[in-house]
Structure 1
Amino acid sequence: MKVLKFGGSSVASSENIQKVLKIVEKSSKNQKIAVVVSAFGKTTNALIEGANLASTKNEDYKKILKKLKEHHFDIINELIPEKKQGDVIEYVQQLFDNLETIYKGCFLLRELTPKTLAKISSFGELLSSFIIAKASENYFETNYKDSRELIVASDNYLNATVNFDGTNKNIIAFFDGNQKQVTLLPGFVARTPKGKTTTLGRGGSDYTAAIIAAALNADELQIWTDVSGMFTANPSVVKQAFPITHISYQEAMELSHFGAKVIYPPTIQPVLKKEIPIVIKNTFKPEDVGTYITKETSNKKPVKGISHIENITLITLEGSGMVGIPGFSKRLFEALSFHNINIILITQASSELSICIGISDEDAEKAKLVIDETFEFEIQKQKVNPVALEQDLCIIALVGDNMKNHQGLSGQMFSSLGKNNVNIRAIAQGSTEKNISAVINKSDAKKALNTLHEQFFEEKIKQLNLFVTGVGNVGERFLAQLEQQKKFLKKNLKLNIRVIGLSNSRKMIFDENGINLKNWKEHLTNGKETSLENFFNKTKECNLRNSVFVDNTANQSVSEVYENYLRQSIGVVTCNKIACASLLNNYKTLKEVSRKYNAPFLFETNVGAGLPIIDTLKNLINSGDRIHKIQAVLSGSLNFVFNNFNENSTFHDVVEQAQKEGYTEPDPKIDLSGVDVARKILILARESGYDLELTDISNNAFLPKESLNTSNNDDFYTSLTKNEAHFQQIFKDANSKNCRLKYVAEFADGKANVGLQHIPSNHPFYDLEGSDNIVLFFTDRYPENPLIIKGAGAGADVTASGIFADIIRIGKI
């Protein structure tokens, strides 16, 4: 024999009920079955709401009663042929008449006792079970039995304790004499020894089914719901969660206690002793395997699931007067127990200086009053501090029978949370090591669950969530490269890179499931108005693991918000040189904050676009080498200009061409004035360990003062035309010496300079073509023959690829 239980979502509508009846029909072909049903979806909540309204003299209870009645009669009309509706309509109308009378009594007396509330709550199951039993007659023969005639329980009306001796006798006697293939029963309800209606607590329909299964030594207990089993995590929060095929009773109890709502925790107790398997199945996908729950699990994976409980308050009882004094814990727990305050988590310092407990938010204020009253004397004598409350918290828990046999799980858990700036307020781990629990901020729950799921279940595929600002030449190329490579990265590097936020100077868009990069331009055009503050706040609000802010601009205002992101443990990747070339204190602050909050701060493209110049320099320093001298051509735009400028061209036209091809900054004067090169050599000097300011860099500018003093691009280009003779003379001077013009940056002996130089034919810089960059590192290990890095140092594609490379570096951390 099997016992099947169908939850409220499974019987929420006539369409759903028809699915249930087909499942029952198929299951009953070769064996007898008992079917336990819940109230129609959300009915119990509505009944309780109506009761509360009535007891406060609010006549809106009548509206709720009317809606409930209409819904139940609609289902009768849709499920049962008109000729057969007589008995069921009479029964249902009688129940609603009784319910209306009880509501009126609550309204007149302004009173709602637990006994009355239990009576009102019971109507949902009594109505649904009778209607479904009558509807099933179109499919198979059914015997309807009121569970109150079988299950005897205490008069704790809202959460009754079952008398198993009497209950088991009743169930066995009834089913021994029952010849029908299918018996349909209401869940949740029971009766007291005096015959009064009582209930088994919210989720009690599961419990009803388990009680019947245990009494009859059933072959299997099936719990039919709207999901395909118990998941590795809440699938509405963790999209990658998947059903657990096989799990033990203990693991199921731990997960259900910590928020997995698929099964009501007490359900497992009656069947556990009899070792009756429990199967969690999906009413709407009956072909899915579901979750099989038995004494032992076949899968030896250490962590079976991750769960959480929200709306937790942490209460701390602390004081030097507790040390070495027995009885504090006893008094604390007795006081809370006497006032029916449930303790969810307990942790105590080995110094005995404090006891920390986790309880539901709704009990917080009452618990504080109770504890302060209990320890009033000790508080007055300052032996114990007044109770401290921390609210807006939640508990996350790793669950698995085999965790005790695997070292390092706690370390993995706390390390992965720490990397994502999830602050842990308290920790609890039982000696059986089947559960590791941590209390965190409720706002971090989603990030924490996804982080842990990625760590323990997702085959080490790391998800990076990008928030990108700047979609000009570089930004557009970067997004195109990312879209092109996303499948390769996931398959070969185990990286799932998603763009969550995107902005230009006017609009921004966000999608926590990832922005479609095939049509991002259209979405951004229709996005919301943006600002640096709004984009940051929205990024912070998303609170996603492995978040990275990507700056594809050359904007100073954008560079000034990096610290805000880093302090939220959001990494920063940027091609914007302004931050790292700003005041030394700001540069050092960004580095320090990056380390403190474990947020990567990468800026490889600040020097040499996509060339691995900074990364190579870091590797030299980290391996113990020392930098003595750096010589470099660091401006792809200036190299392009002087490689193409001669007596047959004008300086104006060559610079304009360089800007059109994306080799210069939006303001080309930044490149031609030498400021850009000065910033780059400053960054290399700082990364080499030297403390320099931008003002310490000697800049031998070749532009006339008139060009340097312009305030916009039009005036700048006009000044180039006016001073063409100046530029032609520069070219002639170099050409007469058989030299080429190169804008060179040098650093040696703690000093740096930049300027235009005549490069002879035997120099490594002489043959540098196009927009290429070259860097020579002279170090302890490379004292005479320098380490040379050479290649394309400007352009949107190579800069975008450098940003991409930095993001991949973060993915490998």
Structure 2
Amino acid sequence: MKVLKFGGTSVGSVESILSLKAIVEKEAQEQPIIVVVSALGGITDKLIATSVLAQKGDEAWKDEFQAMVERHHKMIDTIITDPRKREQLFNIVDSLFEQLRSIYFGVYLIHDLSKKTQDAIVSYGERLSSNIVATLVQGAKWYDSREFIKTVRKNHKNTLDSELTNRLVRRTFSDLQRISLVPGFISKDRDTDEITNLGRGGSDYTAAIIAAALDADILEIWTDVDGFMTADPRVIKTAYTIKELSYIEAMELCNFGAKVVYPPTIYPVCVKNIPIRVKNTFNPDSEGSIIKQKVANNDKPIKGISSINGTTLITVAGLSMVGVIGVNRRIFTALADNGISVFMVSQASSENSTSIGVRDQDAAEAVEVLNGEFAKEIETGAMFPMHAESGLATIAVVGENMKHVPGIAGKLFGTLGRAGISMIACAQGASQTNISFVVKSEHLRKALNAIHDSFFLSEYKVLNLFVCGVGTVGGQLLEQIHDQYEELKRTKRLKLNVVGIATSKKALFNRDGIDLANYRELLADAPESNDKKLRDAIIEMNCFNSVFVDCTASKDVAEIYQPLLEHNISVIAANKIAASSSYEKYALLKETALARGVFFRYETNVGAGLPIIGTINDLRNSGDVILKIEAVLSGTLNFIFNELSADVTMSEAVHRAKEQGYSEPDPRIDLSGKDVIRKLVILAREAGYKVEKTDVEKHLFIPDEFFEGSIEEFWKNLPQLDADFETRRKQLDAEGKRWRFVATFDHGKLSVALKEVDSTHPFYNLQGSNNIVALTTERYREYPMLIQGYGAGASVTAAGVFANIMSIANI
């Protein structure tokens, strides 16, 4: 025998109630079943709201009442096809509604709504729905749960009389029908025979009571979700169904906001070791979640995460609390006597403060109660007035396996810290099945996502990317991410989620990810933006595992790195401006990233996709000392000097560099050596030296006057240099030498200059736009370390940026 309970959504529409019929009739073919149903979805709330209108003397209660009548009538007309059964059901339903109308009218006349009357009113929801379902389901017999679910009044609450109820349940179902239909939630007082109920969610409890009393094989809770989820799927898109969980884990998750099962439901069946299966009425083929005593394959450190938004933390503090016995008893007794529930407690070891978590709606009353309880101590200064902090959320990380895995709390705190989330209060029981903590509500979504991802509850690790700049490098990067997206999901379990794309004028954002197949069309219709709006939007989105990728050469964009890092957003920059700005700014960016536990990466600032900065860092981290750096760092200039020949003049070589995409749109940036100077400064800083751009000695090969005026004037005047360069080139060629524009750092001195190298020099055979770096260190004195390869080009640079992204993803 099994007990099936169907919630309000399962009887809330024609589609769902017909699905219920199919499920019940199929199950009844195999064994006797007892079906417990809730009121039609939303009806309990409507019953309560209508009673309040009546109490206020508002005539609108009649319209609300009539709407409920019409809803039930419409449901009957649609699903009950047998005219005889339909007429009988209408008689039952209309009789119930007539009783309900009389009660409402009485409330309306005397403007009084007692607890007794309210309980009677809400009972009609289940009485109506259960009669409809009993008529719909072939062969079902209706039972009145008020006759065997009995309560007793204790501490101002209706509490189940377990002994009497179990005896009556066994007697009622001694002759078990194939299908027994029972209204959930409602009950009667054993002494007064007044209608009571088991609380919101009490239909689950009704089903559990019956299952336990009759030693059912299983209790099935049919609802509108596939089962217990690892987290709230409305917040975490990657949340998935937990296949198995223990009674304790289910209880912890239910108590902390996972509204899949009403918490009291678990105890009666747990005592009898009866499993609970949670299934989806709208997806009956889904396996759902099973709750039982022992869970196999419990390999993950945590099982799930639940949360309660709208938390207020009340702190009871005072020096008089230290070592005084009974303070906490007074706190909880005072709150309990006033019906205020506390769902979390955190106390300092010094005993001078105790923080309690309550729901926002209980906060004002809780403060008043506690201030009254400790009024004398507050008056004498022995204790402080209650301090309440609202706008908070409580998160619970749940799993019985946590006690077997060391370091869970440390990993949890580290994950929150890297996400820039401060923990306001924390509590962990000795059973180690629940770690609860309080954060600001604005950080709830980010915290849940960060924890879910960090503890491998997500199927994929997610990196949320904001890409600024969609020119040659940015465009190539987005294309590479799009091309590799599925492959990375398959082989690395990694999702590169591009949540923001920006240009100098527009910005596009989507927390769920932007479709990279048509992002340019979407961007064209995006709102206007600038660097400040971009910064504010990224910070406001507050995504976990956020990475800002700068593929521009903008000074203004570089200025937003610092606030982004301060908000725990990693930065990857193809833009050289930040790392080559003042040493003070450069150092602050690196220190901020380190302090916040995020990353500031800029490998492509030097050598495009070549691993130059990473290699220098590895050498230094291993204890080596960089003594000298010699490098050809401009792919553009190397291309130009490799192109020079008897047939290709200097002006023609510069034109070719621009046409083939090696130079900046204004090639004077490359020819002025500014780009090389920036790169040299960055390398020297990475080598551990405090240097500025002004420390670099410049020996340029283009006269200063060529850098003045417009770009058009530059192109017009450039051929004036052709003859001189050709004369010098011929002489150089005769000597068996070549030009290389070399950046040098030598024991603290920096310079850039056009140098002549012969065939014995490692820079001599440097082809095309390649770069080369020679590192002389204490370990590599006699034979410097050489790093050589493509040093320019959008695809290579984009690949280097991609590699930086992956270096963060793999940590």
What TM-score range do you get, normalising by the shorter chain?
A: over 0.9
After alignment, is 374-383 or 740-749 more displaced? 374-383
- Structure 2 residue aligned with 1:182, among 169, 179, 189? 179
Contact 1:425–1:438 (CA<8 Å) still a contact in 2?
yes
Match status 1:714 vs 2:712: yes
- The one-letter amino acid of 1:378's match is E
Question: Following TM superposition, by how much is the alpha carbon of 1:387 offset from its aligned partner in structure 2, in angstroms?
Answer: 2.2
Contact 1:462–1:494 (CA<8 Å) still a contact in 2?
yes
- The one-letter amino acid of 1:49's match is A
Q: Which residue matches 1:562?
A: 561
Q: Which residue matches 1:129?
A: 130
Contact 2:230–2:457 (CA<8 Å) still a contact in 1?
no
Q: Which residue matches 1:220?
A: 218
After alignment, is 469-478 or 721-730 more displaced? 721-730
User: Counterparts in 2 of 1:273-292, with a 5 A limit?
Assistant: 273-292=271-290
Q: Which residue matches 2:737?
A: 739
Q: Which residue matches 1:679?
A: 678
Paired residue secondary structure (1:154): strand
After alignment, is 151-160 or 393-402 more displaced? 151-160
After alignment, is 321-330 or 603-612 more displaced? 321-330
Match status 1:429 vs 2:391: no
User: Counterparts in 2 of 1:532-611, with a 5 A limit?
Assistant: 532-611=531-610
Match status 1:210 vs 2:211: no
Identity percentage over the alignment?
A: 45
Paired residue secondary structure (1:715): helix
Once the two structures are superposed, what CA deviation does each residue of 1:729-784 show, in whole Å capped at 9, x if it has no partner? 66456456543222111112322111222233332222212111111111111123
User: Counterparts in 2 of 1:472-511, with a 5 A limit?
Assistant: 472-511=471-510
Contact 2:32–2:178 (CA<8 Å) still a contact in 1?
yes
1:268 and 1:156 mapped to 2: Cα distance? 21
Question: Following TM superposition, by how much is the alpha carbon of 1:203 offset from its aligned partner in structure 2, in angstroms?
Answer: 0.3
Q: Which residue matches 1:770?
A: 768
Question: Following TM superposition, by how much is the alpha carbon of 1:148 offset from its aligned partner in structure 2, in angstroms?
Answer: 1.3
Paired residue secondary structure (2:103): helix
Q: Which residue matches 2:148?
A: 150
Match status 1:758 vs 2:759: no
Question: Following TM superposition, by how much is the alpha carbon of 1:722 offset from its aligned partner in structure 2, in angstroms?
Answer: 5.0
Question: Following TM superposition, by how much is the alpha carbon of 1:109 offset from its aligned partner in structure 2, in angstroms?
Answer: 4.2
- The one-letter amino acid of 1:764's match is P
- The one-letter amino acid of 1:396's match is I
Match status 1:236 vs 2:256: no
- The one-letter amino acid of 2:483's match is Q
Paired residue secondary structure (1:161): strand
After alignment, is 466-475 or 483-492 more displaced? 483-492
- The one-letter amino acid of 1:640's match is F
Paired residue secondary structure (2:358): strand
User: Counterparts in 2 of 1:365-514, with a 5 A limit?
Assistant: 365-458=364-457, 461-514=460-513
Contact 1:554–1:577 (CA<8 Å) still a contact in 2?
yes
Q: Which residue matches 2:262?
A: 264
Match status 1:64 vs 2:64: yes
2:130 and 2:711 mapped to 1: Cα distance? 80
- Residues 747/336 of structure 1: CA separation in 2 closer, same or farther (3 Å cut): same
User: Counterparts in 2 of 1:342-381, with a 5 A limit?
Assistant: 342-381=341-380
Unaligned regions of 5+ residues in structure 1, if any? Answer: none
- Residues 161/724 of structure 1: CA separation in 2 closer, same or farther (3 Å cut): same
Paired residue secondary structure (1:802): helix
Once the two structures are superposed, what CA deviation does each residue of 1:181-212 show, in whole Å capped at 9, x if it has no partner? 21111111111232222111110100111111
- Residues 743/190 of structure 1: CA separation in 2 closer, same or farther (3 Å cut): same
2:766 and 2:110 mapped to 1: Cα distance? 95
- Residues 616/164 of structure 1: CA separation in 2 closer, same or farther (3 Å cut): same
Once the two structures are superposed, what CA deviation does each residue of 1:193-243 show, in whole Å capped at 9, x if it has no partner? 322221111101001111111222222211111222222222333333332
Contact 2:238–2:459 (CA<8 Å) still a contact in 1?
no
- The one-letter amino acid of 2:208's match is A
Contact 1:651–1:721 (CA<8 Å) still a contact in 2?
yes
1:738 and 1:380 mapped to 2: Cα distance? 96
After alignment, is 14-23 or 279-288 more displaced? 279-288
1:579 and 1:457 mapped to 2: Cα distance? 35
- Residues 296/660 of structure 1: CA separation in 2 closer, same or farther (3 Å cut): same
Q: Could you state the TM-score of these two structures normalised by the residue count of structure 1? A: 0.95
Match status 1:47 vs 2:44: no
Q: Which residue matches 2:75?
A: 75
- The one-letter amino acid of 1:76's match is I
Q: Which residue matches 1:95?
A: 96
Once the two structures are superposed, what CA deviation does each residue of 1:520-547 show, in whole Å capped at 9, x if it has no partner? 2222223333322333333233322211
Contact 1:313–1:360 (CA<8 Å) still a contact in 2?
yes
Once the two structures are superposed, what CA deviation does each residue of 1:250-294 show, in whole Å capped at 9, x if it has no partner? 221111111111110001122222222222122122222222222
1:730 and 1:796 mapped to 2: Cα distance? 32
Unaligned regions of 5+ residues in structure 2, if any? Answer: none
Contact 2:452–2:458 (CA<8 Å) still a contact in 1?
no
Q: Could you state the TM-score of these two structures normalised by the residue count of structure 2? A: 0.95
Contact 2:184–2:206 (CA<8 Å) still a contact in 1?
yes
- Structure 2 residue aligned with 1:783, among 755, 770, 781? 781
Question: Following TM superposition, by how much is the alpha carbon of 1:728 offset from its aligned partner in structure 2, in angstroms?
Answer: 4.5
2:254 and 2:719 mapped to 1: Cα distance? 77
After alignment, is 479-488 or 309-318 more displaced? 479-488
Paired residue secondary structure (2:158): coil
Paired residue secondary structure (1:620): helix
Question: Following TM superposition, by how much is the alpha carbon of 1:165 offset from its aligned partner in structure 2, in angstroms?
Answer: 2.5
1:179 and 1:344 mapped to 2: Cα distance? 40
Contact 1:634–1:793 (CA<8 Å) still a contact in 2?
yes
Once the two structures are superposed, what CA deviation does each residue of 1:468-487 show, in whole Å capped at 9, x if it has no partner? 11111111111122222233
After alignment, is 110-119 or 271-280 more displaced? 110-119
Contact 1:158–1:200 (CA<8 Å) still a contact in 2?
no
After alignment, is 319-328 or 788-797 more displaced? 319-328
- The one-letter amino acid of 1:28's match is A
Contact 1:118–1:157 (CA<8 Å) still a contact in 2?
no
Contact 2:545–2:569 (CA<8 Å) still a contact in 1?
yes
Once the two structures are superposed, what CA deviation does each residue of 1:650-683 show, in whole Å capped at 9, x if it has no partner? 4333223212322122332211111111100000
2:472 and 2:633 mapped to 1: Cα distance? 20
1:600 and 1:491 mapped to 2: Cα distance? 25
Question: Following TM superposition, by how much is the alpha carbon of 1:28 offset from its aligned partner in structure 2, in angstroms?
Answer: 1.4
Q: Which residue matches 1:3?
A: 3
After alignment, is 10-19 or 286-295 more displaced? 286-295
2:407 and 2:800 mapped to 1: Cα distance? 36
- The one-letter amino acid of 1:189's match is I
After alignment, is 696-705 or 192-201 more displaced? 696-705
Contact 1:393–1:442 (CA<8 Å) still a contact in 2?
yes
Question: Following TM superposition, by how much is the alpha carbon of 1:57 offset from its aligned partner in structure 2, in angstroms?
Answer: 4.5
Q: Which residue matches 1:528?
A: 527
- The one-letter amino acid of 1:803's match is V
- Structure 1 residue aligned with 2:163, among 148, 165, 190? 165
Paired residue secondary structure (2:424): strand
Q: Which residue matches 1:33?
A: 33
1:166 and 1:135 mapped to 2: Cα distance? 31
Contact 1:159–1:200 (CA<8 Å) still a contact in 2?
no
Q: Which residue matches 1:194?
A: 192
2:155 and 2:94 mapped to 1: Cα distance? 25
2:229 and 2:436 mapped to 1: Cα distance? 18
Q: Which residue matches 2:85?
A: 84
Contact 1:54–1:103 (CA<8 Å) still a contact in 2?
yes
Question: Following TM superposition, by how much is the alpha carbon of 1:788 offset from its aligned partner in structure 2, in angstroms?
Answer: 1.0
2:55 and 2:681 mapped to 1: Cα distance? 75
1:656 and 1:519 mapped to 2: Cα distance? 33
1:657 and 1:47 mapped to 2: Cα distance? 80
1:603 and 1:704 mapped to 2: Cα distance? 32
Question: Following TM superposition, by how much is the alpha carbon of 1:460 offset from its aligned partner in structure 2, in angstroms?
Answer: 8.3
After alignment, is 800-809 or 247-256 more displaced? 247-256
- Residues 690/75 of structure 1: CA separation in 2 closer, same or farther (3 Å cut): same
After alignment, is 297-306 or 74-83 more displaced? 297-306
